[in-house]
Amino acid sequence: MAKKVNTEVAEVEENAEVKEVKKTAKKSTKKVTEETVEEAPVEETSKKAAKKSTKTEEEMPVEVVEEVNEPEKVVATPVVEDPVEVSVEQKLVALYTLQQVDSKIDEIRAYRGNLPLEIQDMEDEIAGLETRVANFKEESKKHQKDISDYKIKIKETEALIKKYEEQQNNVRNNREYDSLTKEIEYQNLDIQLSEKRIKEITAKDNDVATKVANAQMRLNELNASLNEKKEELHSLVEGTEKEEEQLLKRSAECEKFVEDRLLVAYKRIRKNARNGLAVVGIFDEACGGCFNRIPPQHQLDICTHKKIIVCEYCGRILVDKGIINQYKA
């Protein structure tokens, strides 16, 4: 009995050990499977990334690959020069220089006087007289045609009168004679009317002829005086033409140093001024254009050359002696 009990106890212990071994084996297999499961997605993701990279390389166009592989070209960028900043003092010097040049041009043109305007007026008057003479001649031709028409009509009427007079000699009764007599009287009245029209037209034609003669005399006088004026102007222009061209070039060069806003204001002031002065100096604490006194504060601002000062009364641009001396130097 004791032996049987011992054998049974030994079998129970062996069975318990076997169960524990099986349990540990199951646990180890579960761990191995979990580790393999955890490592599997990493490998799959790496495989997927490799497939994607191969696909993108296959799908990428050849041109893009070439652009990536080509070396970068160096493009030379043009050098942009900074605009030169002109100070207020330089602007004032340029404006005063421009004013002096334009004043000399005005003097040259004033030296010529009103000859260009007189020549233009003479040419306009000559053109008007020529058209008037042409109209008078056309009117005279019409008068001559009317006179010839009336003369032809008179001849035709005289022929009718002779015809009626011949018919009077062959009448059969007084009624026919009276009708022919009235017709002859009517034709005679028509002849008188035609002769009256001829006299009127002749008087008009004579008046037109006198007008044509007067206009022709005036034309001859104007042509003679026009030639004299042109010769005089030509002699004056020859002496000052080169100087005027040089001054015009210098004026254009001075305008380049003045900004557009100031240039427009300068031309506007110069156009409205009687003597053509848009930039004037200060003389005895007064404006050189309108001669009104300038306040001391404005005089100080003008001397500092920090901004462009305009006269309160006439609107001219004011400069001090420093600017004038720079121009003379």
**H/E segment holding residue 319:** strand 317-319
> How high is the pLDDT of residue 20?
61
Distance set, CA 186 to CA 176, 182, 194 (Å) = 15, 6, 12
Q: Over its length of 329 residues, how does the chain's per-residue pLDDT go in tens digits?
A: 444 444 444 554 555 554 565 565 455 545 444 444 344 443 444 444 444 444 444 444 434 333 334 444 444 444 334 334 568 888 888 888 888 888 888 888 777 777 788 888 889 999 999 999 999 999 999 999 999 999 999 999 999 999 988 888 888 888 888 888 899 999 999 999 999 999 999 999 999 999 999 999 999 999 999 888 888 887 777 767 778 888 888 888 888 878 888 888 888 988 888 788 889 988 888 888 888 898 888 888 888 888 888 888 888 999 988 888 888 76
> How high is the pLDDT of residue 142?
93
> How high is the pLDDT of residue 110?
77
- Rounded to whole angstroms, the Cα distance separating 299 from 71 reads 66
Contact 320, 303 (CB under 8 A): yes
> How high is the pLDDT of residue 186?
92
> How high is the pLDDT of residue 58?
41
> How high is the pLDDT of residue 243?
81
**Which tokens go with 70?**
């080509």
Centre a 10 Å sphere on the Cβ of residue 78 and count the other Cβ atoms it contains. Answer: 5
Residue type, 214: N
Q: How would you classify the pairing of strands 317-319 and 279-283?
A: parallel
> Among 137, 103, 312, 151, which Cα is nearest to 208's?
137
Domain 113-250 -> CATH class:
mainly alpha
Q: How large is the C-alpha radius of gyration of the chain?
A: 59
> Among 187, 194, 196, 193, which Cα is nearest to 159's?
187
Contact 323, 287 (CB under 8 A): no
Reported pTM: 0.45
> How high is the pLDDT of residue 79?
39
Contacts of 153 (CB under 8 A, 6+ apart): 190, 194
**H/E segment holding residue 286:** strand 286-287
> Among 283, 327, 323, which Cα is nearest to 89's?
323
The alpha carbon of residue 302 and the mean position of all alpha carbons in its chain are separated, in whole angstroms, by 36
> How high is the pLDDT of residue 85?
57
**Which tokens go with 248?**
């015009």
Centre a 10 Å sphere on the Cβ of residue 284 and count the other Cβ atoms it contains. Answer: 8
Contact 115, 232 (CB under 8 A): yes
> How high is the pLDDT of residue 11?
55
> How high is the pLDDT of residue 63?
40
Domain boundaries in the chain?
Answer: 2-69, 79-111+259-329, 113-250
